[in-house]
A and B are shown apart, each in its own frame.
Chain A
């Protein structure tokens, strides 16, 4: 797990109040929603808000790719890096 992935896993735990979980309990490739960690649509909204605040990025609510970006910690990390690069330009 790289530093950004670790950071995002911790953000998920803090934002969604997942008591008793450590970042290492959320493997980067584990699905966050449904069968995996078990997050739901309200969590997705909450998480989007937290990511925007934390990384100063924009997440379009109508983004078609949102589902893929939010699939796992790894995909979120890739997405955050891409958005940061885009916002920096």
Chain B
């Protein structure tokens, strides 16, 4: 069981940029059309942003303001499918027996965005790049909690997914639209004036519904309709009145993650 405080968050998706956009989305979510638009990352000079993929731009856009200019904070980058557009392009070149672009190849690895963050922000501390299954978000939060436990004052956690090429339609069904979410995660500090909506407890239990297939009546947790990170983002928007009811369950295979908002 871990306790965490969400000090700040930012999210980006096609046509969803501002806090107001996300507030409206959280209230009654929809799938925005994805026309390949990307954040302009105008805070970076052109020579520095020229190698940023769409996904890297999404990650930079949301994470950038959450880390102060003079702060050194560990980063957790999480993505289930990673640079799937880049890798698909490379696979096409391999199939066509074309030489591979060194830049595309070098930046297709899962820790490339964490590396670019480190270079662009002058971050010299720890960085992790995580790929889990549908519960990648929870694994990333666990990673953030271990970094906090080791003494980090806060952790920048970024989760990003991009709509995969249509060739993957038969296999990938958990990215309804491209999105990136960045959280500034800290230990809950009692007595501080952090908003009560931002303290959470995360608990992992065995998902009996999955491990005991014989008894379907136990299957009380259908998959959440939205990716876990976006479902959590919705919960962040719950009005204060329903505080004690703030409760999320994310089940995947043998794992059942329980999020509970702390008073």
B102→A45 contact, CB < 8 A:
yes
**Binary per-residue interface labels of chain A (46-62) against chain B in the complex, 1 for a CB within 8 Å, 0 otherwise:** 10010011000000000
A46 to B101: give the CA distance in the assembly, Å. 6
Q: How far is the CA of A19 from the CA of B50 in the complex (A)?
A: 7
CB distance from A19 to the nearest CB of B (A): 5
Chain B proximity mask over A1-33: 1 for CB below 8 Å, otherwise 0: 000000000000000111111000000000000
Q: How large is the interface on A (under 10, 10 to 19, 20 to 34, 35 or more residues)?
A: 10 to 19
A19 to B47, CA, bound (A): 8
Q: Which of A18, A42, A52 touches B47 (beta carbons < 8 Å)? A: A18
A45-B51 Cα distance, complex, nearest whole Å:
14
Are the CB atoms of A18 and B50 closer together than 8 Å? yes
Among residues of A, the one whose C-beta sits closest to the C-beta of B100 is A49
Judged by a CB distance under 8 angstroms, whether B190 is at the interface is no
Asked if B239 CB lies within 8 Å of chain A CBs, one says no
By the criterion CB–CB under 8 Å, are A49 and B50 in contact?
no
Contact B102 A42, beta carbon cutoff 8 Å? yes
What are 23 A-B residue pairs whose CB atoms fall within 8 Å in the complex? A17-B50, A17-B51, A18-B46, A18-B47, A18-B50, A19-B46, A19-B49, A19-B50, A20-B46, A21-B46, A38-B47, A42-B102, A42-B103, A42-B106, A45-B102, A45-B103, A46-B101, A46-B102, A49-B99, A49-B101, A49-B102, A52-B99, A53-B99
Q: How large is the interface on B (under 10, 10 to 19, 20 to 34, 35 or more residues)?
A: 10 to 19
Instruction: Please report the C-alpha to C-alpha distance between residue A38 and residue B50 in the assembled complex, in whole angstroms.
Output: 12
Interface centre among B49, B51, B99, B102 (most CB of A within 10 A): B102
A52 to chain B: which residues have CB within 8 Å? 99
Against A, the Cβ 8 Å flags (1 = close, 0 = not) of B28-59 are: 00000000000000000011011100000000
Question: Which residue from chain B places its CB closest to the CB of A53 in the assembled complex?
Answer: B99
What is the CB-to-nearest-CB distance from B217 to chain A, in angstroms, rounded to a whole number? 56
- Complex CA gap A20/B106 in Å reads 24
Q: What is the chain B residue whose CB lies nearest that of A43? A: B103
**Which residues on the B side are within 8 Å of A19 (C-beta)?**
46, 49-50
CB distance from B83 to the nearest CB of A (A): 16
The CA of A52 and the CA of B51, in the complex, are separated in Å by 21
Closest 8 interchain pairs by CB? A45-B102, A17-B50, A19-B46, A46-B103, A20-B46, A38-B47, A46-B102, A49-B99
Most buried by A among B47, B49, B51: B47
Residue among A16, A17, A52, A53 with max Cβ neighbours from chain B (10 Å) = A17
How far apart are the CA atoms of A17 and B103 in the complex, in Å?
11
Chain B residues in 8 Å Cβ range of A42:
51, 102-103, 106
Residues of B within 8 A of A18 (CB): 46-47, 50
Within 8 A of A (CB), among B186-207: none
Report the minimum CB–CB distance from A39 to chain B (whole Å): 9
Q: How far, in angstroms, from A38 to B106 measured CA to CA in the complex?
A: 19
Tell me which residues across on chain B come within 8 A of A38, comparing CB atoms: 47
Nearest A residue to B47 by beta-carbon distance?
Answer: A38
CB-CB under 8 A from B47, the residues of chain A are 18, 38
Residues of chain B within 8 A (CB-CB) of A20 are: 46
Specify the chain B residue showing the minimal Cβ separation from A18.
B50
For the complex, what is the distance from the CA of A16 to the CA of B104, rounded to whole Å?
A: 11
The CA-CA distance from A45 to B101 in the complex, in Å, is 8
B215 to chain A, nearest CB (A): 55
Give the distance in Å from the alpha carbon of A64 to the alpha carbon of B46 in the complex: 31
